[in-house]
């Protein structure tokens, strides 16, 4: 529902962003790209030139965000989420439409954006702060608070090229947050920091919200989205498919994720999931009795029914089911090879069913990655997502580690230590 002009923080009106593709790559963005393309053009003089192509990363995106709202932006990889934030933060111009911003904006879209590798942390605080729009006096006034929040005090005079990715993100987030923005844009940056810092950032973002700041947050971490956002904008192929309550947005996201390729499958050599010799066609999450379930009590068994199709030759397939926590930690996995299950490679449909031991995982959200490898743990021939589930417990959270199982304790009286004897004493 449109808001009045004095209530909105962000107004997107028909935003579109088109990118040109030439010879299979995107348009030149850097001087190196320009030089490389010029050399390539010279080398191919006299030959037929490949046709220019284009694609729309965003198309006709419109929405209003009220002041003080926390809004999550969801979608699969390539949906246009990062492009949207870059357009809103004016890093890139839209091809069509316009975005209106009402208030002071801070953005953290990439780790260390605006940092200079040769400069120290101290120098980069002033550089990045200036890029974000802070004056030198304001940066100096907030300097100690920025360093304390980033927890890098002893390295503040070290060049940031020697920082770890975690140190980078802590310092970058701290500078952006201490801008005290009216609007803060965050793009998956919290995924880089450790879990303690992630929670610290979420607490800081909630504090900004209490001060009526507006936060637009892109993440694949549903725990963070649920914690921060009351509303979700869901993008699919550059267009808004849903704009409404968080629970419904997450439901759509998880449905789209179901059976999609795992994010790292391309790096493992799987470029087209439809051409894999084995494909997962359906997944059902059930309780031990066979009833559909998505929330499991700590100590309850999970039953997972897996339908698949053998489409081509595959050598001794090993089905692997991995449970991955919302912060990206792979917590446990089950596989047919180690459990002594022989999988038929006859072409056609097949079904597998796994019943886990009592779940000892801590209370959290887990996604299921379904992998098929040849000859035990050899070549990856299939990698798909199998949905997600929650483990519930009133106490056990990530402060308790990955899992909790009862130990065996004994208690007895402490015996007094024996007095040392003076072996060399003479009677």
Exposure string (b/e) for 43-76, b if CB count within 10 Å is 16 or more?
Answer: eeeeeeeeeeeeebbbbebebbbebbbbbbbbbb
Residue-level pLDDT at 32: 44
User: Any idea what the CATH number is for the domain that residue 377 is in?
Assistant: 2.70.50.60
Q: Are 62 and 14 in contact (CB under 8 A)?
A: yes
Is the same domain home to 322 and 363? yes
Residues 252 and 280 in one domain: no
Non-local (6+) Cβ contacts of 287 within 8 A are 293, 296, 300, 301, 302, 303
> Are 73 and 17 within one domain?
yes
Whether 124 is in a domain gets the answer yes
Residue at which a domain ends, from 231, 257, 283 = 257
* Residue 420, in any domain of the structure: no
β-pairing verdict for 96-101 and 348-355: unpaired
354 and 219 inside one domain: no
In a domain, 25, yes or no: yes
**pLDDT number for residue 1:** 47
Do residues 253 and 322 both lie within one domain? no
Range of the domain at 312: 273-400
Q: Tell me: do 283 and 229 sit in the same domain.
A: no
Same-domain check for residues 70 and 207: yes
Together in a domain, 153 and 283? no
Flag whether 234 is in a domain: yes
Instruction: Tell me, yes or no, whether 349 and 280 share the same domain.
Output: yes
Residues 116 and 187 in one domain: yes
**Do 24 and 141 belong to one domain?**
yes
Instruction: State the CATH number of the domain containing residue 187.
Output: 3.40.50.300
Last residue of a domain, one of 257, 287, 322: 257
Q: How many domains does the chain have?
A: 2
Q: In a 10 Å sphere around its CB, with 0-12 CB exposed, 13-18 middle and 19+ buried, how is residue 284 labelled?
A: middle
Per-residue tens of pLDDT for the chain, all 427 residues: 455 556 899 999 999 999 987 554 444 444 445 445 555 555 455 555 555 578 899 999 999 999 999 999 999 878 999 899 999 988 899 999 999 999 988 777 765 567 888 999 999 999 988 988 889 999 999 999 999 988 899 999 999 999 987 788 889 888 887 888 889 888 865 555 566 776 777 777 778 878 888 999 888 777 778 878 889 999 999 999 999 999 999 889 888 888 888 878 877 878 777 789 999 999 999 999 999 998 999 999 999 999 999 999 999 999 999 999 877 889 999 999 999 999 999 999 999 999 999 999 999 889 999 999 999 999 999 999 998 898 999 888 878 889 999 999 999 887 766 665 655 544 4
Of the three residues 210, 226, 257, the one that is the final residue of a domain is: 257
Asked if residue 109 belongs to a domain, the reply is: yes
User: Does 45 map to a domain?
Assistant: no
CA separation for the pair 278, 379 (Å, rounded)? 13
Asked whether residue 107 is assigned to any structural domain, the reply reads: yes
| pLDDT at position 28 | 42
Q: Do residue 13 and residue 90 come from a single domain?
A: yes
Is residue 178 one of the residues assigned to a domain?
yes
């Amino acid at each position: 529902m449109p808001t009045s002009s004095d209530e909105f923080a962000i107004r997107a009106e028909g935003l579109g962003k088109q990118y040109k593709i030439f010879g299979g790559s995107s348009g030149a963005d850097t001087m190196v790209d320009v030089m490389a393309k010029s050399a390539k053009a010279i080398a191919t003089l006299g030959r037929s030139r490949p046709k220019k192509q284009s694609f729309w990363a965003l198309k006709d995106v419109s929405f209003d965000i009220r002041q003080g709202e926390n809004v999550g932006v969801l979608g699969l990889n390539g949906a246009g989420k990062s492009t949207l934030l870059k357009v809103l933060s004016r890093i890139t111009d839209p091809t069509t439409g316009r975005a209106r911003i009402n208030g002071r904006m801070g953005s953290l879209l990439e780790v260390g954006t605006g940092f200079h590798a040769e400069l120290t942390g101290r120098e980069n605080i002033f550089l990045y702060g200036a890029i974000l729009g802070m004056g030198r006096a304001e940066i100096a006034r907030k300097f100690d608070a920025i360093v304390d929040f980033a927890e890098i005090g002893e390295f503040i005079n070290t060049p940031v090229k020697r920082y770890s990715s975690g140190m980078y993100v802590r310092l970058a987030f701290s500078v952006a947050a201490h801008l005290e923005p009216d609007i803060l844009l965050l793009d998956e940056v919290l995924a880089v920091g450790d879990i303690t810092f992630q929670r610290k950032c979420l607490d800081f973002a909630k504090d900004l919200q209490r001060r009526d700041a507006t936060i637009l947050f892109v993440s694949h971490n549903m725990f963070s989205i649920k914690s921060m956002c009351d509303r979700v904008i869901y993008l699919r192929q550059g267009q808004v498919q849903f704009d409404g309550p968080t629970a419904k947005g997450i439901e759509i996201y998880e449905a789209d994720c179901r059976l999609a390729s795992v994010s790292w499958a391309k790096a493992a050599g799987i470029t087209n999931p439809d051409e894999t010799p084995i494909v997962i066609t359906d997944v059902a999450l059930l309780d031990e009795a066979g009833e559909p379930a998505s929330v499991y009590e700590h100590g309850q068994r999970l039953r997972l029914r897996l339908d698949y199709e053998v489409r081509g030759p595959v050598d001794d397939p090993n089905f692997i089911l991995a449970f991955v926590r919302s912060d990206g930690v792979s917590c446990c996995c089950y596989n047919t090879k180690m459990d002594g299950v022989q999988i038929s490679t006859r072409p056609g449909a097949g079904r597998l069913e796994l019943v886990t031991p009592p779940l000892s995982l801590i209370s959290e959200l887990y996604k299921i990655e379904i992998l098929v490898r040849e000859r035990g743990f050899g070549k990856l021939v299939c990698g798909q997502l199998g949905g997600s589930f929650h483990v519930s417990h009133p106490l056990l959270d990530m402060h308790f580690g990955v899992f909790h199982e009862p130990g065996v304790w004994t208690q007895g009286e402490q015996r007094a230590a024996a007095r040392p004897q003076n072996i060399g004493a003479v009677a």
